[in-house]
Structure 1
Amino acid sequence: MNGRADTGDESLATPAPDVSASEPITRRFQAANAGAEWLARTTRWVWSPCVLVLLIVALDLAQNARRWSVPISGLLDEPAHLSTSALVLLAIAGPRWLQRNPFATFSALIASMAVDIDHIPLYAGLPHIADGGRPYSHSLFTVGVLAVIALLVRGRRALVGGLAIGVLLHFVRDISTGPGLILLWPFDFETVRLPYELYLWVLVFAAAVATTRILMHALPARPGR
């Protein structure tokens, strides 16, 4: 006896699997899976900025095709306001901010259409609220008042701040359509009117920025972040 147990032929022992050989395949599989998830996240939203631009152009073409009644004109104009505001807000704030601030986002989008309520007294025969064009409340004075209220009222800051943002977004379209805006009322009564073509270029630029931000937002988060 040699002092140790006979374990048999050591050459018949099962070799340990080579883990290092499978690591590149695993990494490639994980990368492909992450790419598929990223594509799935972006496919649903990446085209939305371009769709909004096309929708605005289609609504404006329909609105300019003939002289519509006030209700029909409003039904064509308000969705264009909503689309413009959503596009510009997405480009400036980005999808992450919109997700983190749903209340302010919703308030802004509603205000971007609701501000046109100030036209009702004008249609009711009260011409003194305007100077041949849109009402005086279609001015930066309204935005300033809402911004000050948002700073003073803490409990409703998101709501009132969203209203101020929405009114300002409303002006992105109004300043290039119709009679323009008396932006600096009550300090200046001069109407500001920019070319409609500039408005279209703003939409195209906003769509490009918004699309980029959607793509960047959908990228997988880095480890440790």
Structure 2
Amino acid sequence: MADCGCRLPEPLHAVFDTAARSGIPDTAVHRAAHQAILRSFASSARPPSPAELADTVGADQEQRAGVLAELARNDVTGLDTTGAIRLADPFSTQPTAHRVRISGGATPWAMCAVDALGIPAMLRTDAVIESADPRTGAAVMVEAAARARAGDTYPARWQPRHAVVLAGARPVTGPAASVCCETVNFFADREGAEEWSRRNPEVTYTVLDQEQAVRLGIRTFGTLLGTP
């Protein structure tokens, strides 16, 4: 499912394949809750409130808590110590290196560079992704014309024009946030990505060109809201 015309580090296959399959139990209530969470982030940059979720899921407080816990166990969402939603891949409630200005929507944080590229595909709308090269701090921007999506790609304008995505994974086990979210980043160019990798030898990585990165974002998130 995560095939993008490149060879990803093995831990990333599991992470992106789980996201692409949505990783949720195949029940109407879990699907409804998951999609309500994603749509809330897209429209307001925050997860739904308990009352908003109740309107969608139609369950009592104990049942809603159980649904959220099950989504978290399947690495679809992440909860804080109070049981509140703190992330729902590809979105984060906390600041990250990647912001996505959704056309006609909100400006949420994305968990990683591939997640950011997948958001406009998931919503089938244009967006501007703003990030920074973690090595130099140089701005990286992608103007995603996802309304013109054709199959597994969409037109995009990258600045700088030689920007790439480094898809890396740390040698740990656990949720995606621990394995790779901080090591899947935009870089201003391939040379900078390779230099960063040399300074972080514990990270297993692949450098994705622009087309590969867009395709991976689409394959991972493009159908989570049922968009063909």
TM-score (norm 2): 0.26
TM-score (norm 1): 0.26
Q: Which has the higher helix share?
A: 1
Larger Rg: 1
Q: Which has the higher strand share?
A: 2
